[in-house]
Amino acid sequence: MVLRAAGRVLPWLALAIPAGSSAAPPNAEAVPELVVPVQALRIADDDGARRAAIEPAQVARWVEYANGVYKAAGLRLVFDPEHGAFDDLRSTLINSVMPDENATPESFRDSAQQIRETSAKYPGRMVVLFRHGAGPNPTGNGFSDRSSPCVVMPGFECTTACSRQNIALFAHETGHYFGLRHTFRYRHKTVAEAEQHLRDLGGDPAVFDLDGFADTAPDPGIDEVGCSEVLTVRLNGIDLPLPRGNVMAYLDSPTLSISPQQAARVRWVARWRKDRGMAPSNSAPAGAGTTVLECEDLPWTARGLDAKEQPMTDFGWYVWSGERQLLCMADREGAQITIRFQVQTGGRYAVDLYGTLAPDFGIIKVRLDDGLPSAPINLYAPDVLVSDRIPLGDKMLAKGEHRLTVTVSGQCKESAGWRFGLDCVKLRAQKAK
């Protein structure tokens, strides 16, 4: 094994990038700006104890740094504490939330529900929850992902990396919020451990890749080189350049940025979020007079496809209704499925479909009973996401059985397939006109 370095000790991020400077590549192509307001919430326990150690000026520093990183994506975060963008909230449940790979879905459900409900109070804003953590001492970690309704952060001085305050943490978690994964699939303590693991996995460094982007190097995720000046490691005779300087790696660097493909993903997910109020969900609590019909529980018949129930807890923060969907495995245009459901009380209803977006999903049209088909609905996304509400219009529905027919009508050029996923149908009773 060989380590190759640049010949100098790298300064820590907070010292290397003055406030207001850009961490984006200097020749990044200009793109129309997407502006996202930030809503910061400082969390304390129900009794006011263990309040998160964060102040508006510290939030502003984190936001400023993140804006430098995401300038290449045309994304600008706006934090305005003078006009309500910084507030306090008491919730022991939220204040104690911690990421735990061994947690069961049930153990995290209550926290996730309260976080989702809290985030929903700030439509159109990127909600950032600053919490203390589970124990008496403050945590230093944060987390988010593409389906999360918010970013969860620690106090500003509570988080360190390479023995310094971690000025890059918020930019990193913002990347997760806007659809970026880590550059590494596995974490290794040492180069020797990574070398052995690569050997065990067959010797192809591609096994280390997680994000799937061609312009980010496969990252062996080696802790012992994280705070060093090492630029390349040799594993089993193969030189691997490290993605040092990438905000989604765990590698110290005087500047951080994103690759062009990462920038495109951030922009796509940012638009998806902005079009849906920033916290899209298929599982928002149903209001009075709303009937929720879980597609996977309803009888169906199909032509040109097969279908099955699919658990969705591995794909996000409890944002699918019932945490399941009906996965429809079509492979051609014209394939269709008809779902039958019962209406208990006849009347006028607003009919909404909730589905799934994915890289191999097609374009569908939806027809209720013998009515006209809907306009085309494109279910493609570069990652697995919820569709949020797809309105099908107001309909007069008599008491008794009805049919919802979904037909594959096309495929966008970015999609790798024709499949689609149906989560639920919501019938919202309307007042008689």
Longest dimension (CA), the chain: 77
Q: Which pLDDT band holds residue 99 (cuts at 50, 70, 90)?
A: confident
The token duo for 78 is: 């706006």
Average pLDDT of the segment spanning 183-196? 97
Query: 22-26, 102-106, 270-274, 357-361: lowest mean pLDDT where?
Result: 22-26
Contact between 266 and 223 under an 8 Å Cβ cutoff? The reply is no
Average pLDDT of the segment spanning 184-194? 97
Residue 147 makes CB contacts below 8 A (sequence gap 6+) with 315, 316, 317, 319, 385, 386
Average pLDDT of the segment spanning 363-392? 97
Provide the whole-model pTM: 0.91
* pLDDT above 70: residue 25: no
Average pLDDT of the segment spanning 91-99? 92
* pLDDT above 70: residue 137: yes
Q: What is the pLDDT of residue 288?
A: 83
3-state secondary structure of 78: strand
Contact between 79 and 60 under an 8 Å Cβ cutoff? The reply is yes
Q: What is the pLDDT of residue 106?
A: 61
Average pLDDT of the segment spanning 91-112? 77
Q: Which residue has the higher pLDDT, 2 or 74?
A: 74
Q: Give the separation between CA 382 and CA 179, rounded to whole angstroms.
A: 9
Report the candidate in 107, 103, 24 with the shortest Cα–Cα distance to residue 67.
24
3-state secondary structure of 384: coil
Q: What is the pLDDT of residue 109?
A: 78
Q: Tell me the per-residue pLDDT of 286-334, one tens digit each, with 9 for 90 and over.
A: 888 999 999 999 999 999 999 999 999 889 878 999 999 999 999 999 9
Average pLDDT of the segment spanning 168-173? 98
Q: Which pLDDT band holds residue 433 (cuts at 50, 70, 90)?
A: low
How many other C-beta atoms are found inside a 10 Å radius of the C-beta of residue 352?
Answer: 19
Q: Which residue has the higher pLDDT, 135 or 105?
A: 135
Round the CA-based radius of gyration of the chain to a whole number and report it. 24
Q: Which residue has the tokens 């639920």?
A: 424
Average pLDDT of the segment spanning 45-50? 97
Q: Which residue has the higher pLDDT, 35 or 10?
A: 35
Q: Which residue has the higher pLDDT, 258 or 317?
A: 258
Q: Which pLDDT band holds residue 15 (cuts at 50, 70, 90)?
A: very low
Contact between 133 and 166 under an 8 Å Cβ cutoff? The reply is no
Report the candidate in 325, 184, 313, 323 with the shortest Cα–Cα distance to residue 244.
184
In 323-384 the beta strands, taken as DSSP E runs, fall at: 324-330, 336-343, 347-357, 363-368, 377-378
Q: What is the pLDDT of residue 69?
A: 98
Q: Which pLDDT band holds residue 30 (cuts at 50, 70, 90)?
A: low
Residue 46 makes CB contacts below 8 A (sequence gap 6+) with 90, 91, 92
Q: Tell me the per-residue pLDDT of 328-376, one tens digit each, with 9 for 90 and over.
A: 999 999 999 999 999 999 999 999 999 999 999 999 999 999 999 999 9
Q: What is the pLDDT of residue 107?
A: 61
Contact between 17 and 68 under an 8 Å Cβ cutoff? The reply is yes
Average pLDDT of the segment spanning 149-175? 97
Q: Give the separation between CA 187 and CA 42, rounded to whole angstroms.
A: 31
* pLDDT above 80: residue 18: no
- Residue 38 bridge partners (DSSP): 126
Report the candidate in 185, 191, 130, 432 with the shortest Cα–Cα distance to residue 289.
432
3-state secondary structure of 82: helix
* pLDDT above 60: residue 12: no
Residue 383 makes CB contacts below 8 A (sequence gap 6+) with 146, 179, 265, 269, 358, 359
Residue 95 makes CB contacts below 8 A (sequence gap 6+) with 43, 44, 45, 50, 52, 131, 132, 133
The token duo for 21 is: 């400077």
Q: Which pLDDT band holds residue 20 (cuts at 50, 70, 90)?
A: very low
Type of residue numbered 304: G
Q: Give the separation between CA 223 and CA 211, rounded to whole angstroms.
A: 19
Q: Which residue has the tokens 């059985």?
A: 401
Q: Give the separation between CA 41 and CA 91, rounded to whole angstroms.
A: 11
* pLDDT above 70: residue 2: no
Secondary structure of 118-156 in the HEC alphabet?
Answer: HHCCCCCCEEEEECCCCCCCCCCCCECCCCCCEEEECCH
Contact between 403 and 340 under an 8 Å Cβ cutoff? The reply is yes
Q: Which residue has the higher pLDDT, 24 or 37?
A: 37
C-alpha distances (whole Å) from 77 to each of 43, 60, 100, 212, 388 are 21, 10, 28, 26, 23
